[in-house]
Amino acid sequence: MTIGLQDGTRADPATRVIDVAAERSRTAGTAGRHYFNAAGAGLVSDGVLEAVVAHLRREQRVGGYEAANEAADDVAAVYTSAAALLGARADEIALFDSATSGLRGVFDALRLGAGDTVIAPRSSYVSQALRLLAMQRHDDVRLVVVPNDASGAMDLEVLERAVAGASGRVVVSAVHVPTSSGLVEPIAEVSAIARRHGAWTVVDATQSVGQIDIDVTAVDCDALVTTGRKFLRGPRGTGLAYLRRGTLEGLGAWAPDVRGAVWTGEDEWTMDGTARQLETWECSVASRLGLGVALREALDRGPAATEAHLVALGSRIRAALAEIDGVTVADPPASPSAIVTFTVDGLVGKEVSTRLRTRRIDSIAVPASHAQWDLGTRGLPSVVRVSPHVYNDDEDVRVLLDGVAEVATEARS
């Protein structure tokens, strides 16, 4: 596979075969459990762990600043790897401690206020939804939540009318894959609509980067934010953002920091012209080095090959769950992803997840409070979410399906 680290070009045939046995052999967390929570926090590889621990040991011996100076080239390579994965350039990448921090930094820098408009899908995650609601309440920003079409995805015709009729500066706060289902939103079409009307598009790709092959040039978005801990299989406390060159031109960071600005006079400063103007100085260098390893491993596996493998695995699990008595798949029709959600008759999601955990099966319950515009609207108090990754084998899937069937049978007893 050829990866273009600067120009965003890469060749990655989806026909490549993922070596599941090899992935398991370098992932200690697969031993003794059946882990289906990559959408919460994917299992890190042994290499990721070793990178984090090795740097912490170096900090212990020589000090944090000195260890960071020694690792400067490796930290710079994190930006290069992230850019390669997303089809961007290294100077369009900023690193954060989470996707939420990244989204906050982007929206703060846009400085929206009275008369401006944000348009969002019903698939928005709680943290971003609350942020937008707070902007509506405290900053007089107009918030428009677009309904879904029959497929469960954002209704593009309604979106077009909303963008065309919006006032002030307009930002579409798009979501690629939500936390509450396996839905995949049509973000390229969303960005195209925004572009036609001079609006910005900011994509929350928290649940998609690492499982779905994303090229920001093809998507044509202005910004995209993701986390390191989920399908990228990086450490917790890491995240990254892509910002198209020129997106923040004339705006600058809302809260400039020594990382992205230079204090040049009594009341003057200059901004870094790259995406890093949104960063802050302090960070966990060890965690970023671990993220760098995770990014390189994702590139080595191949983004297109990983997507093909995981989408097929999600489809297989979704179809099998639908055949179990007392189980209802909760994913909308437009759900070609590795995330699968379902309910079990007579049990709330947390009860199902707890019972599966006693069988050494890791899943998670997503309550309506994490997705009111989605689960709340659909009348679902909670769903059970399972999300496999490249380290899940056929035995894991068999145990998962048998476990869900047993829990459903118990609920009917």
CA distance 116 to 384: 37
Outline where 184-274 has alpha helix (H).
187-196, 216-219
CATH number of the domain encompassing residue 366: 3.90.1150.10
Residue 308 structure tokens: 């093909």
Computed over every residue of the chain, the mean pLDDT equals 95
Same-domain pairing of 125 and 113: yes
H helices within 42-123, ranges in order? Answer: 46-62, 64-70, 72-86, 99-110
Q: Which of 299, 334, 363 is the last residue of a domain?
A: 299
Co-location of 183 and 322 in the same domain:
no
Is 13 within a domain?
Answer: no
Domain boundary among 273, 299, 325: 299
Residue 357 inside a domain? The answer is yes
pLDDT tens per residue, range 117-140: 999 999 999 999 999 999 999 999
pLDDT digits (tens, 9 = 90+) for 163-200: 999 999 999 999 999 999 999 999 999 999 999 999 99
Provide the CB-side half-sphere exposure for 402 (13 A, CA). Answer: 9
Distance of CA 335 to the CA centre of its chain: 16
- Domain presence at residue 344: yes
Q: With contact defined as beta carbons under 8 Å apart, do 60 and 410 qualify?
A: no
Per-residue pLDDT tens for 207-233?
999 999 999 999 999 999 999 999 999
Please report whether residue 28 resides in a domain.
no
Q: Are residues 176 and 242 in the same domain?
A: yes
Q: Does the pLDDT of residue 90 top 80, yes or no?
A: yes
What phi, psi does 303 have (nearest 5°)? -60, -45
Q: How far apart are CA 2 and CA 241, in angstroms?
A: 23
229-286 pLDDT, tens per residue?
999 999 999 999 999 998 888 776 677 889 889 999 999 998 888 999 999 999 999 9
In a domain? residue 168 = yes
User: Which pLDDT score, from 0 to 100, does residue 11 have?
Assistant: 56
What token pair was written down for 25? 């052999």
Nearest to 122 by CA among 174, 165, 164, 162: 174
Write out the E strands in 345-393. 361-362, 364-367, 382-386
pLDDT above 70 covers a percentage of the chain that reads 97
Cβ neighbourhood burial of 31 (10 Å; 0-12, 13-18, 19+): exposed
- Determine, yes or no, domain membership for 9: no
| Residues 153, 255 within the same domain | yes
What is the C-alpha separation between 272 and 224, in angstroms, rounded? 19
Question: Is there a single domain that holds both residue 238 and residue 333?
Answer: no
Q: What is the pLDDT of residue 219?
A: 97
Number of domains in the chain: 2
Domain end call among 276, 299, 322: 299
Q: Is residue 5 a part of any domain in this protein?
A: no
Q: Which amino acid appears at position 410 of this protein?
A: E
For position 10, what pLDDT does the model report? 53
Amino acid (1-letter code) at residue 165: G
**Which tens digits make up the pLDDT trace of 38-79?**
999 999 999 999 999 999 999 999 999 999 999 999 999 999
Residue 151 identity: S
| Residues 77 and 152 grouped into a single domain | yes
pLDDT of residue 6: 38
The C-alpha angle with vertex 194 and arms to 190 and 197, in degrees rounded to 5, equals 150
Question: For residue 239, what are the β-bridge partners?
Answer: 96, 227
Please give the pLDDT value at position 369: 96
Secondary structure of residue 184 in the 3-state scheme: coil
Q: How many CA atoms lie within 13 A of 19 on its CB side?
A: 9
Same domain for 390 and 273: no
* Same-domain check for residues 54 and 189: yes
Predicted confidence band of residue 12 (pLDDT cuts 50, 70, 90): low
CATH code for position 97: 3.40.640.10
pTM, full prediction? 0.94
Measured over the CA atoms of residue 216, residue 217, residue 221 and residue 222, the dihedral's sign is: positive
Q: Looking at residue 278, what DSSP letter applies?
A: G
List the beta strands (DSSP E) in 231-288. 239-243, 261-265, 268-271
Contacts of 100 (CB under 8 A, 6+ apart): 127, 128, 239
Q: Which two tokens stand for residue 301?
A: 């596996």
Phi-psi region of 343 (alpha: psi -120 to 50; beta: other; left: phi over 0): beta
* Residues 320, 294 share a domain: no
| Position 5 confidence tier, pLDDT thresholds 50, 70, 90 | very low
Looking at the chain, how many residues does it have? 413
User: Angle 285-301/303-322 helices, nearest 10 degrees?
Assistant: 80
Residue 51 and residue 55: Cα distance in Å, rounded? Answer: 6
Give the pLDDT of residue 255.
Answer: 79
307 lies in the same domain as 295 = no
Residues 137, 380: Cα–Cα separation, whole Å:
27
Look up the domain containing 264 and give its range: 49-299
Q: Report pLDDT digits (tens) over 314-339.
A: 999 999 999 999 999 999 999 999 99
Asked whether residue 138 falls in the same domain as residue 161, the answer is yes
Q: Dihedrals φ, ψ of 154, to 5°?
A: -55, 135
Tokens of 143: 């918030």
Q: Are residues 288 and 396 located together in one domain of the fold?
A: no
Specify if 202 maps to a domain.
yes
pLDDT value at residue 3: 32
Rg (CA), the chain: 21
